[in-house]
Structure 1
């Protein structure tokens, strides 16, 4: 697999160096899609939210500080114990409290570990989204190439049929052919113009898809070579089920679900808490108390047992999801290789077809000049050549597209694997800032606020 990655990196680097000035290579298309994708931005935000879940779980181990204040109005007024004649209509109080979890048999630690597994799963899901974004960009790039090539083909066809029509009209004027031959040429010319208009419409739609997928208008798009592949189907399947982001994400989901069972079981055990309180009265006289307490459940109507069973069911579902995901990835790899084989066979056949159709068209046209062929036969031969060329263009595009679908099915269609030379989003950077739940007023907390405001702007 290192060979594939090195070859891909060299391929994109070489394409950028060999591209003419002002041309847009596939690497340029992929970089733009990566930098402008709203879908990636959305899922990066979801990853940051998952990072914060780790911070929220971690905060349960920190001291919890609270304050409260109150004012009580009494009528009749309660007597002042130090001065029975003096009574207060309004009695105020202020209280500061602190609480710290001492021990809970690992329930909080398990919650933190489960959230960390969720973060790792979300990172892999982000990679899967990245693959979808880049594959859509590849498809958009190739769709433009296909549509533009078809327009050139149709324009050339219109020119050739126009020439055939003029020749038929000249031969009709001298009595070599009938009006029927001229009408046949006119009908074929009208059909060719209709096909040209359809191809132009396809290009307009491809341009809109390119804008949506890549985030910019297409320029002079460079031809795309098939991606290098040095693995067979079975080896590619084995690699994919071990390394595809979707499979890795499913594995982390299984681990998180298993931790969820242990966390639910820990809820049956007692917890030890340390709490303290400082209260102030109207005269700002204080009273203090410190409590070390232990508590645990006796009965909650079967809720805790149901929570454990639910966690077990979620674990079983996650395991089944991992199995299903592995099968789906294997199927995707097999399908991608099958499409690649079909495209290559079709390309080989279309190359032969073009060569044969070219010879046949030249021969029929020359024989028509000698009067041995009719205008209809010339037009049929020319249509066969056009179809052959169209098949060759489609097969070339299909081969390139199928090769990149193989990469995506293996989990290799990522910015990191392709070495596109763009600044790659670091999924661990934000996590590092929040994993230990910094306070909002701390230096790191204020730095996080600035980061989020910059992202929001």
Structure 2
């Protein structure tokens, strides 16, 4: 019941094509799996879903103001004392009377100059704005998942690279010692190889420390420790130009949509503040039963009537509220201008970061090829005595640095590609077609928007939903 109410498996057209490497074993995890786990694990998403449900209740509360208000009351009292009056010819009399009463009051709003209508509209716009905030959070959660996944992939590869290099340096050191024994090299060559080996061990320890930190980030973002990860092979399909990226961002980013809803909310609040200056008509009723506990006297009576009223002077409070609402509306309009420029800038920056990462990857690829050729050549020349051990170690270090740079560039490219999607508002489970149970914001809203009473059939169902979710 709870899942049906609050989550929906909505199938949609695949807006973006993601192609990931297929795991070679059942225990392997690809990027899509990690993002799905992050979506289902995130406490931040749960927090903002609860905030959205709270905003939904705001609509219910404002809607309830249009319904009849029915209250009950009861009292019991005892009057005691003495009195002397003209009616008692100045003689003192004792007062000792106990009474009990019980009654109900009814009030129905008939007209309030449109204030309630405007407040309901403002509450609905707040709900729509909060839904966009939830999408912003969803994008942040998924981008953190991408960053965590790619960081572990990068650092794992760098650790393996450092380990392989360490084994290579150990062989170089042994070769230098063997050649020193037969007099082909000096003690200096051996010392240089030993220094390179010590440096390689230090680099390996640093790489292992970086991997441990990345694993902790992964655990926090994804919800479990990383196992064997399969790196993605193909970038997600994105825009064809920077201007295209900016146009999509202005049109689709949830921050832009949220800012527009916030303006609508502020405008309805201005209308509500203006409506508060007008008249108000209510239908009021009362029925009470009063019994004298000392005698058999009683009074059963009721009243019903129309009440018309409105403000005349409240010390300037209402006009101040109106001016405040106008200022908040103007602030939201200005905020839309700021958000538009920020969104365009973020999309442009993300496009530039992706272009830079692609260029770096291409350059480091050529750097690795050249460094490998140079290293193999220097090593062969060293065997012939034309190069020293130091030359071999330097060439080897250049190759290692180039390979590490290429690994980092590959990670940066994938992270930048997904960051570009986020800057356009497209890094969502729906657009990525992730295999998750997607949260349906309409389910709870539709259940509460018309303010079901606690003891009504729908109210009881909502109570069951909250108990099932452990939210009460």
For 1:69, the equivalent position in structure 2 comes to 74
For the residues of structure 1 that align with 2:40 and 2:207, how far apart are their CA atoms? 30
Does 2:143 match 1:135?
yes
Task: Call closer, same or farther: CA 1:78–1:432 in 2, change over 3 Å.
Answer: farther
Aligned to 2:426: 412
- Give the drift of 1:22: 1.5
Distance 1:391 1:297, change over 3 A: same
CA separation of 1:19 and 1:7: change in aligned 2, threshold 3 A = farther
Q: Does 1:361 align with 2:366?
A: no
Q: Choose the corresponding residue for 2:407, options 372, 387, 393.
A: 393
1:163 paired with 2:171, answer yes
Q: CA deviation at 1:227?
A: 1.7
Q: Determine whether 1:278 maps to 2:320.
A: no
| Two-structure CA RMSD over aligned residues (Å) | 1.9
Q: Structure 2: how far apart are the matches of 1:257 and 1:78?
A: 61
Q: CA deviation at 1:6?
A: 3.2
Query: 2 CA distance for matches of 1:91 and 1:6?
Result: 74
Alpha carbons 1:37, 1:133 under 8 Å: kept: yes
The match for 2:389 is 375
| Structure 1 residue 284, shift from structure 2 partner | 6.2
- Summarize deviations over 1:215-263 as a string: whole Å, max 9, x none: 1111111112322224311111111111101110110000000111111
User: What is the CA-CA distance between 1:447 and the residue it aligns to?
Assistant: 1.2
Residue 117 of structure 1: how far off its partner (Å): 0.2
- Which secondary structure state, in structure 2, belongs to the residue aligned with residue 226 of structure 1? coil
Q: How many residues align?
A: 447
Cα distance in 2 for residues equivalent to 1:373 and 1:216: 50
Provide the secondary structure at the position in 2 that maps to 1:67: strand
Deviation at 1:449, TM superposition (A): 1.3
Relative distance call for 1:455 and 1:152 in structure 2 (3 A) is same
1:303 to partner: Cα distance: 1.0
Aligned to 1:447: 461
Q: Report the counterpart of residue 421 of structure 1 in structure 2.
A: 435
Residues 79 and 95 of structure 2 are in contact (CA less than 8 Å); yes or no, is this contact kept in structure 1? Answer: no
Q: Could you tell me which residue of structure 2 aligns to residue 336 of structure 1?
A: 350
Instruction: State the SS of the aligned residue for 1:236.
Output: helix
- 8 Å CA contact 2:52–2:130 kept in 1: the answer is yes
Q: Does 1:145 align with 2:156?
A: no
Corresponding residue for 2:445? 431
Rounded Cα–Cα distance in structure 2 between residues aligned with 1:237 and 1:437: 41
Assess if the C-alpha contact under 8 Å between 2:45 and 2:138 holds in 1: yes
The partner residue of 1:287 within 301, 304, 323 is 301
**CA contact 2:23–2:29 (8 Å) conserved in 1:** no
Instruction: Kindly report which structure 2 residues correspond to 1:1-12, keeping only aligned pairs within 5 A, or say none.
Output: 6=14, 8-9=16-17, 11=18
Q: Indicate conservation of the 8 Å contact 2:81/2:96, yes or no.
A: no
- Structure holding more helix per residue: 1
> C-alpha distance in 2, partners of 1:55/1:7?
35
Cross-structure match for 2:60: 55
What's the TM-score, normalizing by structure 2? 0.92
Contact 2:139 2:425 in 1 (8 A): yes
Runs of 4+ in 1 over 4 A off after TM superposition: 85-88
In structure 1, C-alpha distance between the alignment counterparts of 2:23 and 2:36, rounded to whole Å: 17
- Match in the other structure for 2:134: 126
SS of corresponding position for 2:341: helix
1:227 to 230, 236, 253: 236
